[in-house]
Amino acid sequence: MTTTEKNNQLAPEAITKKDVTKAYLRWHFANEIPHSFERYLAPSLLYAMMPVLKKLYKDDEALKAAYKRQLLFFNTQLSWGGGVITGLMSSMEQQRAEEEYEKKEITMQDDLLYNTKAGLMGALAGIGDAIDSGTVQYIFIAIAVPWAQQGSPLGALFPFVFFALYQVLLGMFFARQSFEMGRNATGLMQSSGVQKAIETLSVLGLFMMGVLAGNYVKVTSTLQFEISGKEFVIQEILDKIIPGLLPLAVVMGVYWFYNKKGLKVTQALLWLTGILIVLAAVGIL
């Protein structure tokens, strides 16, 4: 085999959108399977990147080094963090492979690749958790609650199926866009379109939380008394002033508790149960 033929065999192959999509799907479905205390989700990221890295690094030692780079501690949210970083790492590794093959100065140093992941994984996880787990998920649940109350299987299936589909499609979109944008992928998160979408979903999520609280938090007062022969029913008076005032008070009380004490759900439930029992016992509720 001539030197030219050998060099051609070591040349990195071009990474396509199909490769990036495949990488994201591998990340998506293997996300929590190899979860470990030492590396967290890094094995999932490496599993996702393996087909890409094999196309880029034909030399065994270079491939091993690339595997090690992607196996360092990593933890982020499924679609926002996983999508952006999977696409971004594919782009950066492609540039690194080309630099190594062409014997150029290596600008894509190991530290740069890892620091890019480390800098993005927390920020993107915060956005993803707030939007997906804190907003979009409950929009789908709110839509399906009436069906569940009517005994329809759609009430259980709709949120599960559509939220899963939403996350797959969103992650694929971010992966492909990040790959195209390369190191400027963080600009995708700062673009006006994405920012408007985040704000819209946040406002919509607040509306849906209000709808859920108003419809499914049921608190009424049984207190009534008579003055000068006229009967006063407290619940009727409250309904004339502000309908749903007591459910709102309960929701805001729980919100205040979380702000003061942190997200201690069990403790909040115990306090709320105790307070409601006492108020019921004395005839207020």
pLDDT single digits (tens) 88-111: 899 889 988 888 888 888 888 888
When divided into structural domains, the chain yields a total of 2
The reported pLDDT for the residue numbered 112 is: 80
Q: Is there a contact between 190 and 84 (Cβ–Cβ < 8 Å)? A: no
The reported pLDDT for the residue numbered 27 is: 94
169 and 232 in a single domain? The answer is no
Q: Which residue has the higher pLDDT, 2 or 279?
A: 279
191 and 225 in a single domain? The answer is no
Domain of residue 222: give its range: 218-281
Indicate the pTM of the whole model: 0.64
100 and 42 in a single domain? The answer is yes
176 and 227 in a single domain? The answer is no
Q: Quick check: 43 pLDDT over 50?
A: yes
The reported pLDDT for the residue numbered 121 is: 84
Q: Is there a contact between 52 and 179 (Cβ–Cβ < 8 Å)? A: no
Residue 200 lies in a domain: no
171 and 248 in a single domain? The answer is no
Task: Provide the CB-side half-sphere exposure for 80 (13 A, CA).
Answer: 21
Average pLDDT, integer, range 228-245: 71
166 and 271 in a single domain? The answer is no
Average pLDDT, integer, range 158-183: 88
Q: Which residue has the higher pLDDT, 274 or 205?
A: 274
179 and 272 in a single domain? The answer is no
Q: Quick check: 120 pLDDT over 90?
A: no
45 and 79 in a single domain? The answer is yes
Give every CB contact of residue 12 below 8 A, 6+ residues apart in sequence. Answer: 55, 56, 57, 58, 94, 97, 98, 101
Average pLDDT, integer, range 242-248: 74
The reported pLDDT for the residue numbered 278 is: 80
